[in-house]
Structure 1
Amino acid sequence: MDDWHKEFWDVVDSVAQGIEQFVQDVTQAVEVIHNEIAIDIEQFFEEVFDVELELRPGENDLFPDHWGELSDWLVNPRVEPDPTTHPCCVGCQNYHGRIYGGNLLVCAMHPYGWQDETCPDWEGKGN
């Protein structure tokens, strides 16, 4: 009768070990899949856009910080100002230039851009 406590805890320990092994196996599988996807994405961008990316994570780094930057670039592309489109924004550190829902957000002070040749809020990069 007294052995049932020991048997119970042996079963609990066995289940805990099984769960731990399962989690380790899943983690390894996710790392393998993640690395394969990263390699495919890198190759795609290198071939199509002639852009070099380094997306493969380091050890124990399943979701590197620059994945967010990549998804921002894909979902909300950046539009650079030029002499014909928002010329007063060229070189301004406040310029944002990302498209959200089909609308260009130029900057926080002037969401639709400044219409004159000189913006009163223009600040050079590095100032």
Structure 2
Amino acid sequence: MENWQKEIWEMVQIVADEVEHFFQGMSEMVDTFFEVTEEITEQLQNTIATEVDQYLQDLAEQIYWELEDVVGDDLDPAFPYPVEPSVEQNPACIGCCHYHGQVYGGNLLVCGMHPYGWEGENCPDWEADELPDWEAEDL
């Protein structure tokens, strides 16, 4: 009777060893799967990031060149800037409250009444440039 108990115990031991061996194999397979997955993910991220960066750089260059074509060489793309009247340019406007003196796209707008300025020394629309009350208080 002892013989069959010993055989059953050996069979249980063999089954336990085989189950342990099976799970060790599965564990190794899962580890290998995760390693491969990590490598593939890293390669995809690097590839996608490189391609997206290149695409964005190409797109930025294309937009730059298209804007340069729209703006052109003959237009002044800068913001408007002021020009003060002087003895050489628009002397009749010195001290006039109507003087605008801003350059837009390379063209000087002198004032609303005389967009290109007055040619003589005495403009018929000249009025003294008076300070507003709030500016006069600061002086």
TM class, shorter-chain normalised?
Answer: 0.3 to 0.5
TM-score by length of 2: 0.37
TM-score by length of 1: 0.40
